[in-house]
């Protein structure tokens, strides 16, 4: 079965819902045809000339990037433009699509910050700055026994049944359905004007608000009955797991700031790290935020963190943190975000397998820090 780019993106958006993106962001489709067939996907932090070359060399038809190709204003798309316009021209010419999951992937359940917290060994990490949860609904549908598997599959493929890192979550129970077809009806089972009893299965699942229409459309299309009996209930659940920016938790063990900084450097394979605070200060609780997260330092301190591990700490922010007695470790934007790509590859591969999508997912090998360091 041919897989289209929009099928890939639909799975990506269940793992990283667009509703989690910040208002200023430009996550989503950047370039390409959502209807194009895809057999190979390349994951990358940035859409650079090197990444585009790698996509061409490995015959990937879709790049899923963390940083949007178009985040700042773009005034032209020309072949000889060395910046975004030129890359867009090459991508369109080669038939390679680009989809970006930026701040929504930062905040997702299994996104950048969760990957960073887990890799650094934070115990029972919690969301540092929660965002609003997406509205959930409970869908219950009654089907004849022989159609139960087909309906469950249709619901799952359309996006129902996602709870955290789990897909295709349903509950089924058996019962007896009754109905009397009236004049003009064209029943799947039964005879007009006669009471019919049918062994049915009650299937329950959860659906996110933005996926209600495709899920209901898929259910109605797969269901054999002329009139489908189903119930839809709004839920008060806050969601299966909290989502938002940053994570906070206890370190695996108490350790001095200088030792922790060295360990962060090794784990993230960063060429260098900068840190601020007393090198011998013994730390127990840390906050992390991939990329540029230094603005969360005061929130992290209020929640009991003694150190913030992030990237792109600016001079005056560093001064403010030190004045407030807050330690920090700046491991760089690239190193603190790159950690999500292997996790995303595994999660996408598992999600594709669960719904029968045969697509190869690769992580870009050519990406490097944008600068060299001298020690």
Of the listed ranges 19-23, 130-134, 277-281, 354-358, the one predicted with least confidence? 130-134
Q: What average pLDDT does the structure give for the chain?
A: 93
Q: Is the pTM of this model over 0.75?
A: yes
Mean pLDDT, range 17-21, rounded to an integer:
89
Tell me what the mean pLDDT of segment 121-143 comes to: 90
Res. 101: pLDDT tops 70:
yes
Q: How confident is the model at residue 107 (pLDDT cuts 50, 70, 90)?
A: very high
pLDDT in tens, 59-87: 999 999 999 999 877 777 888 777 668 89
Mean pLDDT of 342-355: 95
CA atoms within 13 A on the CB side of 232: 13
Q: What is the pLDDT of residues 175-228, one digit of tens each?
A: 999 999 999 888 888 899 999 999 999 999 999 887 899 999 999 999 999 999
């Amino acid at each position: 079965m041919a897989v289209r780019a929009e099928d890939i993106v639909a799975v990506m958006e269940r793992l990283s819902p667009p509703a989690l993106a910040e208002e200023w962001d430009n996550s989503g489709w950047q370039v390409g045809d959502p209807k194009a067939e895809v057999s190979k996907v390349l994951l990358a932090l940035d859409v650079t000339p090197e990444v585009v070359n790698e996509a061409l060399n490995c015959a990937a038809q879709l790049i899923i990037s963390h940083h949007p190709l178009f985040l700042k204003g773009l005034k032209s798309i020309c072949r000889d433009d060395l910046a975004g316009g030129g890359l867009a021209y090459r991508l369109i010419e080669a038939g390679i699509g680009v989809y970006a999951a930026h701040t929504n992937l930062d905040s997702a359940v299994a996104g950048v910050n969760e990957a960073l917290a887990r890799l650094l060994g934070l115990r029972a990490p919690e969301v540092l700055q929660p965002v609003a949860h997406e509205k959930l609904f409970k869908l219950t549908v009654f089907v004849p026994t022989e159609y139960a598997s087909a309906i469950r599959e249709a619901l799952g493929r359309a996006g129902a049944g996602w709870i955290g890192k789990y897909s295709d979550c349903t509950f089924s129970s058996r019962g007896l359905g009754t109905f009397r077809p009236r004049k003009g009806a064209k029943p799947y089972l039964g005879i007009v004007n006669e009471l019919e009893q049918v062994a049915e299965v009650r299937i329950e699942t959860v659906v996110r608000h933005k996926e209600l229409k495709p899920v209901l459309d898929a259910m109605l299309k797969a269901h054999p009955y002329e009139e489908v009996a189903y119930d839809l209930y709004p839920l008060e659940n806050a969601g299966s797991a909290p989502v938002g920016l940053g994570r906070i938790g206890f370190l695996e063990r108490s350790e001095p700031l200088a030792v922790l900084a060295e360990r962060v450097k090794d784990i993230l394979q960063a060429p260098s790290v900068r840190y601020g605070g007393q090198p011998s200060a013994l730390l127990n609780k840390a906050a992390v935020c991939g990329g540029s997260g230094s603005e969360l330092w005061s929130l992290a301190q209020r929640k009991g963190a003694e150190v913030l591990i992030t990237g792109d700490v600016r001079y005056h922010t560093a001064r403010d943190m030190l004045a407030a007695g807050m330690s920090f470790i700046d491991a760089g934007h690239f190193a603190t975000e790159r950690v999500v790509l292997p996790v995303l590859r595994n999660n996408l591969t598992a999600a594709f397998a669960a719904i029968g999508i045969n697509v190869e997912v690769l992580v870009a090998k050519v990406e490097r820090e944008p600068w060299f360091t001298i020690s």
